[in-house]
Structure 1
Amino acid sequence: MLCLREYDRAVLPGVRLSDADRRTLADGALDPVLRIRELAGDRLEVEARAYVGVVRLDACEIRVLPKHLGGSLDVLRMLEYSAGGRVRTLEAGRWFAEGDADLRDLVALMVTEHCERLLRHGVRKDYVTREEDLPVVRGRLLPDRQVLHHHGRLDRLACRFDEHDTDVVDNRLCAAAVERAARTAGSAQVRARARRAAAQFGPLAPTPLGDLRQAVSTLAYHRHNEHYRPAHRWARLLLSGGGIDGLFTTGPLASRAFLVDMNGLFEDFVTRLLEDGAAGSGLMVTRQSAQRRVLVDEATEKHYSEVRPDVLVRGVRGGVPFRLPVDAKYKLYEGKKLSTQDIYQAFLYAHALGSPAECVLVHPAGPGASGVRVAVRDRAGATSARVRSVPLDLGSVLDELAGPQPLEAAARVWNEVVGQPPK
């Protein structure tokens, strides 16, 4: 097994890929997130990107660990909080020794745990439309189908009817996910537990799930299935190979790779912190707000390109309009200058969207790190815009979120990013 951190490169000696491994990696689908290359002398070179998780090949297992966190359990806690759940003292911490669990096994355990809870409380039933040939009329007779297939027969009647059944998309998604967990989890304990849940869920929803994205698009949550939402969240994550859209949902990589994009996860995590921290402030937090009137083609007066900050905080503060763009950057800036590219982007946001002209960059950092303030000044020395960086100690924030008063952590981050309201 090879363990490395994000953006690290390592060479594993004495490893030769199997023919199945080479076929799996041949189309290059994995290259944007994890580059694996064979070297002479039975060596394997692995270069990680900003994705964490596990890839299991016949020749070896490769684990990519987070650079700014303690391990996979912290990633799981970030996933749970970002998706709208409370960070708990996870059962996974009791199942695995420190450093013994990969991220895929942790998610497989979450899927199994939530599916077990659904089974204990009774799975949902709904009306399903079916068409069958029956000896007596049930529901509605289908005359076209009857004439085409059973002309002149009265013992076989083509009918369409509604049946109250458990074989609905809500249960099919859970059944597919827990079956995947039972088949692909690395931990024998998790596989055994998932197999027991799969043996119960399978007969309840025997129809194959089919295309994941299409199935998920048909889901609509209401009072009858709202309690399925956490199970579905973890099921989608496991079935999609870590949530990488369109990459691992089908094909041979689907059961071999599970990799989470830490750039996207950090952005979701920061956004959720600000949404929770905004409670009672009177300000609104908007995700990925597309601004089309910022860059304009002067010849046609049509928008040239849209500007989309990660977060836009807006409202009225102290009796005046307030707008603050926030950009989440999953980069380790501690002890380093902000990159010129990030500064240029932030200043565009500040000039075009900020009121006052300011933008905040939030990035991960270690305990006790301090942020920087960068100003843009004209030739006369007047400041026209500012960029502030706010370092976020992810480990400390996650510990606070798992404590008895999680909203205090969000309020503290909110005050660091947005600042105290004027008196």
Structure 2
Amino acid sequence: MTPVVEVVEHAPAVSFPLPDAVGRALAAGDVLDAAPDPYAAGRWSLRAGSKVGAVSVAGPGLDEAFTVRITPKTPVARLFFLLGYSLDPGSAWRDGEVEVAEHRDLLPALAHVVERQVDRALRQGPLQGYRVTEEAALVVRGRIREAEQIRRRFGATLPVEVTYDEFTTDIAENRILRAAVERLLRLPGLPRDLRRRLLHQRGRLADVTAPVRGRPIPAWRPTRLNARYHPALRLAGVVLDNASAEHSHGGLVIDGFLFDMNKLFEDFVTVALREALRGSGRTSRLQDTHHLDEAAAVRMRPDFVLYGADGAPAAVADAKYKVERKGGFPEADLYQMLAYCTALGLRKGHLVYARGSASHAAHQVRHAGILIHQHALDLGQQPAGLLADIATIARHMVPDLRV
């Protein structure tokens, strides 16, 4: 049986018996904080940060692979609500907690949701489209590539270098789905039935070019023709973007899947604020670039900036995946928001945290005329409650807003 090490995100460090090679590989792999336990030989102290998921460590010198599983504090069903809403606020599957109700662990839940969406996308058969093909052929098809014919064939008439549009299933959309399925099949700890269903989906995409490690995933753009693929493609993008890069250390290979809860929370808050403020006559921009100084040497990127009808900044917000400690939230966040407000010429700024002792607090900055709001969201509540809290924050930003 594969040894499994389980830790919880942002929990105190825990000591585990690990081979030194595995401990060193984890320490170098940007998975979690790992260091030799100073009080016990052969044990390593492991502490998870904001990344959740699982990785496996395997290679020469190990009798079997080690799996490290990092469990999120946020309920898995709620995590998928945050993910789904940030991907597509109007999509029906975003609030489908039934989709993951049978899975308490993150990776099986993710694989289950992706497999269901791929199955729905392929229900009418794989999407077909035109792909530009360039090849050497014995018959003329499409257009002759004259420059290539001269460069490669030196005046020979056959074969002919041609280019043509081929109607095929081997298009970007299907390649992305296959790449995501292949990636999920490599994850540790998937139930047998779920693995079998993923293999079935891979079989339905058998005529599609298999992904090659190290090569970029093809780009796609949403259109009316690929509308039934949109949920599956967005989830496939999450799988491929968050898959930890396979890398080696000391002969061992680390491979797996890691969510960054910092980014997930930031994406949800900014997208939810944008939706809450839609129709207000103002424009929202996420991760918009500004500068602190007149020389534009110090760059700033607030998570969320709201612009008025005149194009001037009207409100600013930053999302922080942090829980209030005994002494309160970090003061550095207040200094950062003060810099944002000063550079943008705003009298108010908003910090949004994952949880706090109170839903709202405010600090009036001395001699500056700037008021900094601190909002706290309880990620354990139902989706409707989360969106209601976001609407409250939006009203703080725009007092006359009707949401």
1:204 to partner: Cα distance: 2.5
Corresponding position of 1:52: 52
**In 1: Cα distance, 2:360 partner to 2:157 partner:** 82
Partner Cα separation in structure 1 for residue 154 and residue 307 of structure 2 = 66
Show the 5 A alignment for 1:129-144: 129-141=132-144
Distance 1:80 1:199 in 2: 27
Q: Structure 1: how far apart are the matches of 2:211 and 2:56? A: 25
Distance 1:265 1:62 in 2: 21
**Aligned counterpart, 1:72:** 76
SS in 2 for 1:388: strand
Deviation at 1:329, TM superposition (A): 1.5
1:306-364 CA-partner distances (Å, limit 9, x unpaired): 232211123269xxx77221121211126533322112112222233254x11111112
Bigger Cα displacement from structure 2, 142-151 vs 167-176 = 142-151
Report whether the alignment pairs 1:304 with 2:297: yes
Secondary structure in 1 matching 2:186: helix
Code of the residue aligned with 2:317 in structure 1: it is V
- Whole-angstrom CA distance in 1 between matches of 2:222 and 2:349: 36
Is the Cα contact below 8 Å between 1:35 and 1:47 reproduced in 2? yes
Change (3 A) 1:240 1:310: closer
Partner of 1:245: none
Contact 2:322 2:354 survives alignment (8 Å): yes
How large is the RMSD of aligned CA atoms in angstroms?
A: 3.3
Structure 2 spans left out of the alignment, 5+ residues:
58-63
Among 99, 110, 115, the alignment partner of 2:113 is 110
Mapped contact 2:246–2:255 kept (Cα < 8 A): no
2:362 matched to 1:373?
yes
Q: Unaligned stretches of 5+ in structure 1?
A: 243-247, 297-301
Q: 1:392 is matched with which residue?
A: 377
- State the percentage of identical aligned residues: 28
Residue identity in the other structure for 2:394: W
| Counterpart contact for 2:100–2:112, Cα < 8 Å | no
Pair 114,353 (structure 1): closer, same or farther in 2 beyond 3 Å: same
Distance 1:146 1:323, change over 3 A: closer
Aligned length: 383
Deviations 1:361-409 (A, max 9, x none): 111226x72422211223xxxx6221111111122253546xxxx6x56
Q: Secondary structure at the match of 1:79?
A: helix
CA contact (8 A) 1:350 1:386 kept: no
Deviation at 1:6, TM superposition (A): 2.2
Instruction: Show the 5 A alignment for 1:182-261.
Output: 182-186=185-189, 187-201=191-205, 203-208=206-211, 211=214, 214-216=216-218, 218-242=219-243, 248-251=244-247, 256-261=255-260
| TM-score using structure 2 length | 0.82
Q: In the superposition, relative to structure 1, how do residues 373 and 117 fare at CA in structure 2: closer, same or farther (>3 Å)?
A: same
User: In 2, are the aligned partners of 1:273 and 1:414 still within 8 Å (CA)?
Assistant: no
> For 2:288, what is the secondary structure of its paired residue?
coil
The CA deviation at 1:195 is 0.7
Q: Distance in 2 between matches of 1:347 and 1:306?
A: 15
Query: In the superposition, relative to structure 1, how do residues 377 and 195 fare at CA in structure 2: closer, same or farther (>3 Å)?
Result: same
Shift in CA distance, 354/362, structure 1 to aligned 2, threshold 3 Å: farther
| Deviations 1:111-163 (CA, angstroms, capped at 9, x unpaired) | 21121112112222222233444443333345654895597676x55543322
Displacement of 1:38 in angstroms is 4.7
Residue by residue, what CA displacement relative to the aligned partner does 1:14-49 show, whole Å, maximum 9, x if unpaired? 4436x6x478548x232xx41234555432321211
Structure 2 residue identity aligned to 1:126: G
Distance 2:136 2:278 in 1: 57
Letter in 2 for 1:51: K
Q: Does the alignment pair 1:34 with 2:32?
A: yes
Distance in structure 1 (CA, Å) of the matches to 2:41 and 2:373 = 50
Q: 1:398 to 1:185 in 2, by over 3 A?
A: farther
Shift of 1:211: 4.5
TM-score, with normalisation over the residues of structure 1? 0.78
Is this contact kept in 2: 1:182–1:198, CA < 8 A? Answer: no
Structure 1 residues 409 and 78, CA, compared in 2 at 3 Å: closer, same or farther?
A: same
Match of 1:299 in 2: none
Q: Which amino acid aligns with 1:215?
A: I
Give the distance between the partners of 1:353 and 1:229, measured in 2 at CA.
Answer: 36
Conservation of the 8 A alpha-carbon contact between 1:9 and 1:45:
no
How far did 1:295 drift? Answer: 0.9
Q: Using the alignment, how far apart are the partners of 1:422 and 1:164 within structure 2?
A: 50
Q: Mark the CA change 1:257 to 1:181 in structure 2 (over 3 Å): closer, same or farther.
A: closer
Q: Is the 8 A contact 2:349 2:371 kept in 1?
A: yes
Greater shift in the superposed pair: 117-126 or 225-234: 225-234
CA distance in structure 2 between the partners assigned to 1:109 and 1:289 by the alignment: 35
